[in-house]
Structure 1
């Protein structure tokens, strides 16, 4: 019986991973969140029994999907800047990675940036995730020596970038990718000046 346990655990993990993947598509749907237990089961081909094996209810499922996307975004940014040798290179790599994440995978961008505004189950989750992104931006503001000023600029910059990317996702910002990257880098550059 012990020899079958790892296989059973692996199948459970696979089902949970599949549910999370489908959850990104449901929570990040272009017309707004469309998350239900039935929709998740239908999209994965799993029964409700397997859904409840991984998540106690719909709201916990939504929160798990959001947490997964938040961690994916953070890990993408950290991986992008690993090994960068200059602040300019770090900024270029981070901005490029985030633009690619949001534009190439708009459902991920909508989960990260719009779902906290649209999905009641997330409540203050967007606010809880913000400090990790503020810290990443704050690390790029090396030209600002006053820690309070650096914190204020980082918070403001994250707010500005969030609004900018929401505009990209909802279609109000329609500039080419290269221009968007240049604009973001310009905001970061101006914020890092003493």
Structure 2
């Protein structure tokens, strides 16, 4: 219900009706509607992180993430769209974002400078969030394979652009070489 295409029409009664539960049972597990919404969002974020952490390559990460978010578009909408329409998730979305950035930053080990790693990871997470949102909303017109290939190319190309090119005699990327304020 939270990730429905028409947007959330989420009430305790609607949740109970959908799950065939009594309101009493609902309140044994959740203090209120907001607690339930945060629990659903946290579950989707936890699954997304586990999916990404289990990947062995950038392509594997993108393919697994597409399977998780696109094959079940409700999950994708919960992760990417619900924080924009559910006031209770505004803070949750902001709390989870650094986890995704940190995960990607750890994968950017070919970029030696930690500040540059953080800049690249933050930029990529922002770009990928926009791409996945547009893909889920049917705004890109790309096939699944085109979408996956583009996301992989974006990850690899951006990381390569900021990695040292020792074959060209570069010790580090010019942005990393500048003094950090």
TM-score range, shorter chain: 0.7 to 0.9
Within 1, Cα distance between the matches of 2:133 and 2:104?
Answer: 18
Question: Which of 105, 121, 127 matches 1:154?
Answer: 121
Question: Which of 6, 19, 24 matches 1:44?
Answer: 19
Using structure 1 for the length normalisation, give the TM-score. Answer: 0.80
Q: Does 1:125 align with 2:92?
A: yes
| SS of residue paired to 1:107 | helix
Q: Deviations over 1:24-43 (max 9, x none)?
A: xx100000112110001101
* Matched-pair contact (CA < 8 Å) for 1:103–1:109: yes
Using structure 2 for the length normalisation, give the TM-score. Answer: 0.86
Q: 1:99-110 residue pairs with structure 2 within 5 A?
A: 99-110=66-77
CA RMSD of aligned residues (A): 1.0
- The answer to which structure has the higher helix fraction is 1
Dislocated runs of 4+, deviation >2 Å = none
Question: Which of 60, 63, 66 matches 1:93?
Answer: 60
Q: How many corresponding residue pairs?
A: 161
**Unaligned segments of structure 1, at least 5 residues:** 1-25, 85-89
Within 1, Cα distance between the matches of 2:125 and 2:62?
Answer: 12
* Corresponding position of 2:81: 114
Query: CA shift at 1:123, angstroms?
Result: 2.1
Which segment is superposed worse, 153-162 or 139-148?
139-148
* Matched-pair contact (CA < 8 Å) for 1:142–1:192: no
* Corresponding position of 1:35: 10
Q: Does 1:63 align with 2:30?
A: no
Within 2, Cα distance between the matches of 1:139 and 1:188?
Answer: 13
Within 1, Cα distance between the matches of 2:16 and 2:39?
Answer: 16
**Unaligned segments of structure 2, at least 5 residues:** 164-181
Query: CA shift at 1:174, angstroms?
Result: 2.3
* Corresponding position of 2:179: none
Within 2, Cα distance between the matches of 1:78 and 1:146?
Answer: 22
Q: 1:149-188 residue pairs with structure 2 within 5 A?
A: 149-188=116-155
